[in-house]
Amino acid sequence: MKRILIVTGQSGSGKSSALQVLEDLGYYCIDNLPLALLPEIVAKLDHENNLEQLALGVDVRSTQADFQEFDHVFEQLQKHGVVDVIYLTTQDQGLISRFSASRRPHPLATRYKTLLECIAIEKSLLLPMQFRATVNIDTTDKSVHDLKHTLLSKLGQSEDMVVILQSFGYKHGIPLDADYVFDVRHLPNPHWDLELRKFSGLDTPIQEFLGANDQTNAMFNDIYQFLEKWLPAFAEGHRHYITVSIGCTGGQHRSVYMVDRLRKALKANWSIQVLHREMKHWS
């Protein structure tokens, strides 16, 4: 895992909206997790998936003891990638107006008498995370569109469409989130070569084996030319991301090779995210 974002801040300041923006950018988002569980969950995700971008929503519903241990949690997360904290804040009067308009209670409303008291206590509880924040955003006068633009700017990302390239194995089922699915099971299968079976499509022996095959090269050229032709049309339609899934039998050799080759060919013109769904099954 390469980048982990912790999205937190005052209730009503736009945390859910920020997570939606990040999800559109290709982040795998999880919301409302207790702080104490973050290291364990991230470790599991890092072991079983090839996620490059993860966003974790945390709010004041974690226990006070959890907040006091945030520095320890932060250090544990750093073992799995670069960690940034996004802290959202809003002026008190703005929060009061938002809670009044939504008619929803503050998360601390059952423990304190007034909304202003809830806001003040929440600020105090969130201080350990605010001190660690690398991105601070005041959403007092921001619309959802403004928040998106600010996030993109502060994270060093653009509004360009993200192309998600995903390898998978048909024996584990077709991905339900795919926009396009290409089947490469007709290509030569390295699995039947005992010397090659232990490798994945990311390894040189598999790349050399498949790259020397005319059918493989023809299939790659057809998929690449299709994407080069039609990705601009999707981008012009204001799509935030598109998922292209490549499948072989087990999801270890041919599909992984094809995804990696497409990544190298497309990265000059497109923002690429890669997911090898069956990595946990690789021998």
Q: Assess whether 207 and 145 both reside in one domain.
A: no
| Mean pLDDT, all residues of the chain | 89
For the stretch 90-95, contacts whose Cβ atoms lie closer than 8 Å and that sit 24 or more positions apart, written own/partner, are: 90/10, 90/12, 90/13, 90/14, 90/138, 90/139, 90/140, 91/138, 91/140, 92/116, 92/119, 94/139, 94/140, 94/141, 95/10, 95/11, 95/12, 95/13, 95/119
> Binding site: what residues are annotated?
9-16, 59-62
Strand, coil or helix: what is 71? helix
Do 32 and 168 share a domain, yes or no?
A: no
DSSP 218: H
Known binding residues for ATP are: 9-16
Report the domain count for the chain: 2
User: 23-27, 184-188, 213-217, 249-253: lowest mean pLDDT where?
Assistant: 23-27
**Domain residue limits at 130:** 3-154
Residues 179 and 142 in one domain: no
**By the 8 A CB rule, do 201 and 254 touch?**
yes
Do 11 and 150 share a domain, yes or no?
yes
List the helix and strand counts (H, then E) for the chain. Answer: 11, 9
C-alpha dist (Å) from residue 88 to 12, 66, 68, 103, 116: 9, 19, 19, 21, 18
- Local confidence band at 264 (pLDDT 50, 70, 90 cut-offs): very high
Between 197 and 138, where is the model more confident?
A: 197
* Shared-domain flag, residues 131 and 54: yes
Out of 120, 154, 188, a domain closes at 154
pLDDT category at 3 given cuts 50, 70, 90 is confident
pLDDT digits (tens, 9 = 90+) for 153-205: 677 666 678 898 999 999 988 887 788 999 999 999 999 999 999 999 999 99
Residues 27 and 50 placed together within one structural domain of the fold: yes
Report pLDDT for 138: 84
* Same-domain check for residues 39 and 129: yes
Residue ranges at the known binding site for GTP: 59-62
Domain boundary among 105, 123, 154: 154
Dist. CA 248–CA 70, nearest whole Å:
43
Q: Are 206 and 245 in a shared domain?
A: yes
**Whether residue 62 is found in the same domain as residue 144:** yes
Report d(CA 114, CA 40) in Å as an integer: 36
Task: Examine the domain organization and report whether 195 and 131 are in the same domain.
Answer: no
Q: Is the domain of 42 the same as that of 134?
A: yes
* CATH number (domain holding residue 31): 3.40.50.300
The string of pLDDT tens digits covering residues 95-125 is 999 888 888 888 888 888 899 999 999 999 9
